[in-house]
Structure 1
Amino acid sequence: MTSGELAGVRCDLEDFAAEVFEPFARADQRRWGSVYLRGLLTGGGRKSVEPMAARLGEDGNRQALAHFITSSPWDPAHVRARLAWKMQAAIKPTALIIDDTGFLKDGDASACVTRQYTGTAGKVTNCQAGVSLHLAGDHASSAVNWRLFLPETWDPASPKADPAKVTRRAKCGIPEGLSIVEKWQLALDMVDETRSWGLDVPLAVADGGYGDTAAFRLGLEERGLHYVVGISTTVTAQPGDAAPCTPPYSGTGRRPAAQYPETAQSVKEMVIQAGRKTARSVQWREGSRPGTGRSGVKRMYSRFTALRIRPAGRQIRKAVTGPELPACWLLAEWPAREAEPVQFWLSNLPADTPLTTLVRMAKLRWRIEHDYREMKQAPGLAHFKGRTWRGWHHHVTLVSAAHAFCTLQRLARAPKDTAPA
């Protein structure tokens, strides 16, 4: 990058910081927000306060940066809203993507750290878990909302409460009265907050950790949202053309309720019964690695089956008013070389939705993994050493802002309609 280009980037960063930090009440908050953001974008190692301060030269006031990120009483929601408005205009998102990521920790002092499963490590380990919501389109995505998951061990009302962790709540600044909220409910809360900012994105995408929970899917439907969510093979359903019938009445007692004549099957069984001949080849995007196609990059494609089904389960049965279960799409990936389908999704998109659209929306979830990887590698998403609830939310918000700035720079340099993934 030439000196002129570098100066342009610095000018862009100043303008960007002035816009997203405009809600700050005080000038010193705006100043240190801009400095912290620049520290996250400066290469050279870890992005915790002390090493960043050492790299920032005359702006490297460690004490001021530490106070700004851990103690200063600014509301991260105001910055996130500004960030969401800006990224919506740049990305033109087609979906909200929801997932969670782990923040590995050595000790037990940080807010909400406990032994729990995280896909970051692929096992149960000592970590914090953060749930995030991203605006996503085909060419770019951006994290715009976050929640820190409070485990049972930190909830004084839980039978699994750890007295040492409960005692640390006040020191970590965990809001008084805050109790455990499941991750899927945190996701719905973020959807509500994001929509309160004026963002209207009609589709939600999530993996099986959320899609397996019927209450999460019903929550999206109650909000008028379409969804494409991953599910496990244990989800059961009735065929799409199945109809409930009323058993014969004996003439005594209460009349029997209408019910389906057959026992619900697992989604895996339903796809296998449909047969591999129902699977069709679908390409959903071009990858980033070299390939042999006309475009010179590897094509992302596989074989997929789509069936109309009626998901079963106690929660769904309680939610419907009549005997008939609501119909939706079951999408299954069944690669040509596999003996069985390998991945499953449910979607309430309309019945006339093309298979290619179902696949493209299901596979759009890769963008959140891309965001996590970029935020952890460059701006240091998991580098924060502070131990407070407020500090964690401040840090992830500013890392999201740093990542968004990089995304905007990428989009600005790319030819129109061909921004790189």
Structure 2
Amino acid sequence: MLDGRRKSIQPMAERLPDGNMQALQQFVNQSPWDPLPVRRRIAERLSEAIAPEVWVIDDVSFPKCGTASVGVARQYCGTLGKRANCQVAVSVHAATDTASCPLEWELFLPEEWADDEGRRRRAGVPDGIGHVSKLHLALGLVDRLAGQGLAVPVIVADAGYGRSVSFRLALEERGWSYVMAVDPKEIARPAAAEPFQPAYGGLGPPTLPRYREPARPLASFITPDTSFQQVAWRQGSKGRMTSRFAVVEVRPSGKEACRTAQEQAGGRSRWDGVLPLRTLLVEQPEDTDEPTGYWMTNLPAGTPIADLVRWAKMRWRIEHDYRELKHGLGLDHFEGRTWRGWHHHVTLVTAAQAFLTLRRLDPKAHTPA
């Protein structure tokens, strides 16, 4: 938290009157302390202090040179907006409109690392850690936090996660609510659509119930007759932030949605063909000719639209987190190469940001460990 542009080990040690670079290097990169109990305590303390309305799932990238840093590969780098040599981490943040803090992290291990024993050994990747998709990493992080006894609020994510029907269904199976950005090309059917049962032809298994009309993209559900209303969701630097929003009920109809509906019904032969209703939130500002944002939620359509909008838009808070974590606290300044060192580094940076968050919430209060 001290001044100084670089927050890697050497410049930090040099800024301290009694700085010991070797000791700091040992503490971050080689020391065997377990970061998970530290992050667990941070999550408990910050959840109590913030009382989050949402948990935001996201991923962040760290541009790197060379091939030795754990998890580094040529992949899409959000920081640079293109494919580049980088690390990628998945995170879960607690957030309200006034405060936020990361609760958990996991480093994404690209497929090329999975079976490269020499590379894994040099970077200290633990046995049992392999290539897992970012979606599964995110689900595992939320499972871990819920397993600690933390109450799971509404889960928010961008379209990188929300466009996965299987990810949304996995959240539903756990009984969690979400508001997630989705791709307007995702297909669905109208809420009033009903399947019919074709007559049995006498050969083979009975034909499954089906809908008469084909599924169509979400964007097609917004017509000139769609009723939009003005909604304000928070105070911005230039005044109250407002836009026009509409709520439409749809039946997501992709292959994943149909397959999961069959499984939940007890199998293909027992499915009645009815796809579940979901709520689609759409934003179309006054000065645009078409929508600019789509969010899918498993909350009922009767949920106050102001709440849906506020939760959907609350993802902005983590941009504040990343700005402070990267530019103020050195999240992307780690120069080590090991799995353990990376997790130690992000844990210490998270602790620093948690401390600052608690001080902002109550500047006069003593901040316990």
TM-score by length of 2: 0.93
User: Between the two proteins, what is the percent identity of the paired residues?
Assistant: 48
> Post-superposition shift, 1:351?
2.9
- Structure 1 residue runs without a partner (length 5+): 1-40, 157-162, 292-297, 415-421
> Post-superposition shift, 1:169?
1.2
Query: What CA RMSD, in Å, does the superposition of the two structures yield over aligned residues?
Result: 1.6
- Structure 2 residue runs without a partner (length 5+): 266-270, 365-369
Structure-2 residue corresponding to 1:255: 206
What letter corresponds to residue 159 of structure 2 in structure 1?
Answer: G
Structure-1 residue corresponding to 2:178: 227
Structure-1 residue corresponding to 2:367: none
1:85 pairs with 2:34:
no
Whether the 8 Å CA contact 2:247–2:301 is kept in 1: the answer is: no
> Post-superposition shift, 1:173?
0.5
SS at match of 1:102: strand
Whether the 8 Å CA contact 1:93–1:201 is kept in 2: the answer is: no
Whole-Å separation in 1 of the counterparts to 2:259 and 2:34: 38
Structure-1 residue corresponding to 2:231: 282
> Post-superposition shift, 1:277?
4.7
> Post-superposition shift, 1:175?
1.4
Structure-2 residue corresponding to 1:303: 244
Whole-Å separation in 1 of the counterparts to 2:186 and 2:79: 25
Misfit runs of 4+, over 2 Å: 248-255
CA deviations 1:360-407 (Å, max 9, x no partner) are 110011111211111111011000100101111111111111111111
Report the count of equivalent residues: 356
SS at match of 1:278: coil
Structure-2 residue corresponding to 1:35: none
1:191 pairs with 2:191:
no
Structure-2 residue corresponding to 1:350: 300
What letter corresponds to residue 144 of structure 1 in structure 2?
Answer: L
Whether the 8 Å CA contact 2:215–2:253 is kept in 1: the answer is: yes
- For residues 393-412 of structure 1, the aligned pairs below 5 Å read 393-412=343-362
Match of 1:97 among 56, 64, 67: 56
TM-score by length of 1: 0.82
Match of 1:56 among 7, 11, 16: 16
Match of 1:173 among 121, 124, 132: 124
> Post-superposition shift, 1:177?
3.8
Whether the 8 Å CA contact 1:235–1:267 is kept in 2: the answer is: yes
Structure-2 residue corresponding to 1:75: 34
CA deviations 1:206-234 (Å, max 9, x no partner) are 11111111121111111110000111122
Whole-Å separation in 1 of the counterparts to 2:128 and 2:140: 17
Whether the 8 Å CA contact 2:248–2:301 is kept in 1: the answer is: no
Structure-2 residue corresponding to 1:119: 78
Whole-Å separation in 2 of the counterparts to 1:225 and 1:146: 20
SS at match of 1:178: coil
Whole-Å separation in 2 of the counterparts to 1:408 and 1:168: 40
Whole-Å separation in 1 of the counterparts to 2:292 and 2:225: 12
Whole-Å separation in 1 of the counterparts to 2:159 and 2:301: 22
Structure-1 residue corresponding to 2:280: 330
